Amino acid sequence: MKKYMLPVMMLAVFEIIAVTLWLTKGNIFYLFNFSYIGCSIALGTTLFIREYKYARRIVQLLVGCYMLVYLGLICRENMQIEGFWYYLFTGVFEAATIHYAVAKIFGPLLFGRGWCGYACWTAMVLDFLPYKVPQKPRKGIGWIRYIAFAASLAFVAALFLAHVGNIERIMFWAFIIGNILYYAVGIALAFAFKDNRAFCKYICPVTVFLKPMSYFSVVRIKCDRSKCVSCGKCSRVCPMDVDVTDNSRKRRNGTECILCMECVKNCPKGAL
């Protein structure tokens, strides 16, 4: 039973969040929402422990489809970064702001960029593409993410400053168009750079929150140097170009780790 402690702990953390938000906000939706996400993650970690090959992909599909289809399209909540700015400006602490606070701002202090590995609906599609391991060296164009971040903030701020009516409806359409754009750019970049995660590395504005917070993450991939034989396989299979065997928080591309566990699965010495 001891080996199943992680899924039990993950489920407990999400249930605490679910019950706390349900009781403090008096809305049973939060109980359902965070219980569903907690159960999906607990199921995925259990399958991973049982060495099921597609464990991560199953969590990604369960959580990603729920966010995109149910919260985004059916409940009409803009769950993208524009939705976060929108609800922040209106002072409403609702789905998108809570989602950002838990998954992308404070959560990464605990579980790093687990969101990117297990829940993001953009990466859920990109991970089906053929370049799971980058075929080309990383490019120095990560600064584009800051432009995308500023553009998303400017877009929502302009709607408020111009006193545009029916912003709620605009945000719904922004969610649909934004997602189509993300998928189109993400797929085009993946083929151009022969790298499924090129969009995550260079464009995604959410990484402006994710990267600095995940620097302090409690959950990290660490290398037991006494077992490591420096074969380099872990770095070769890493989709995010992390210098896996360096245990320092300053390791190369350390804040890019999405906890996908490919390095752990492929290490021939069980050093990770």
Residue 118 · residue 102 · CB < 8 Å: no
The footprint of ligand SF4 on this chain (CB under 6 A) covers a number of residues equal to 35
Pick one of 19, 149, 231, 247: the residue that binds ligand SF4 (CB under 6 A).
231
- CA pair distance 60, 41, nearest whole angstrom: 9
Please classify residue 183 by burial: count the beta carbons closer than 10 Å to its beta carbon, then call 0-12 exposed, 13-18 middle and 19+ buried: middle
Nearer to ligand SF4, 33 or 60 (CB): 60
The reply to whether 123 sits near ligand SF4 by the rule CB under 6 A is yes
Tokens of 151: 């553009």
User: If binding is defined by CB under 6 A, does position 267 make contact with ligand SF4?
Assistant: yes
- If binding is defined by CB under 6 A, does position 263 make contact with ligand SF4? yes
Are 232 and 256 in contact by the 8 Å Cβ rule? The answer is no
Is 195 or 262 the residue whose CB approaches ligand SF4 more closely?
262
**Of 198, 224, 225, 214, nearest in space to 257 by CA:** 214
Per-residue binding string, ligand SF4, 176-215, x by CB under 6 A, is: -----------------------xx---x-xx--------
Q: Does 71 engage in binding with ligand SF4 (CB under 6 A)? A: no
CA atoms within 13 Å, Cβ hemisphere of 56:
17
Q: Is 122 in the site for ligand SF4 (CB under 6 A)?
A: yes
Residue nearer to ligand SF4 on the CB measure, 18 or 125 = 125
Instruction: Output 11 or 56, the one with its CB closest to ligand SF4.
Output: 56
Q: Does 78 bind ligand SF4 (CB under 6 A)?
A: no
Contact 84, 96 (CB under 8 A): yes
Distance CA 33, CA 37 (A): 6
| Residue in 81, 153, 171, 272 binding ligand SF4, rule: CB under 6 A | 272
Query: What are the CB-based long-range contacts (under 8 Å, 24+) for 44-50?
Result: 44/118, 45/6, 45/7, 45/10, 46/4, 46/7, 48/261, 49/3, 49/4, 49/6, 49/7
Q: Is 42 in the site for ligand SF4 (CB under 6 A)?
A: no
CB 266 → ligand SF4: shortest distance, Å? 6
By CB under 6 A, is residue 57 in contact with ligand SF4? no
Residue 105 Cβ, how far from ligand SF4 at the closest point, in Å? 12
Q: Is position 174 an interface residue for ligand SF4 (rule: CB under 6 A)? A: no
* Rounded-to-integer distance, Cα 49 and Cα 42, Å: 11
70 three-class SS? helix
- The footprint of ligand SF4 (CB under 6 A) covers 116, 120, 122-123, 199-200, 204, 206-207, 221, 223, 228-234, 238-240, 242, 244-245, 257-263, 267, 269, 271-272
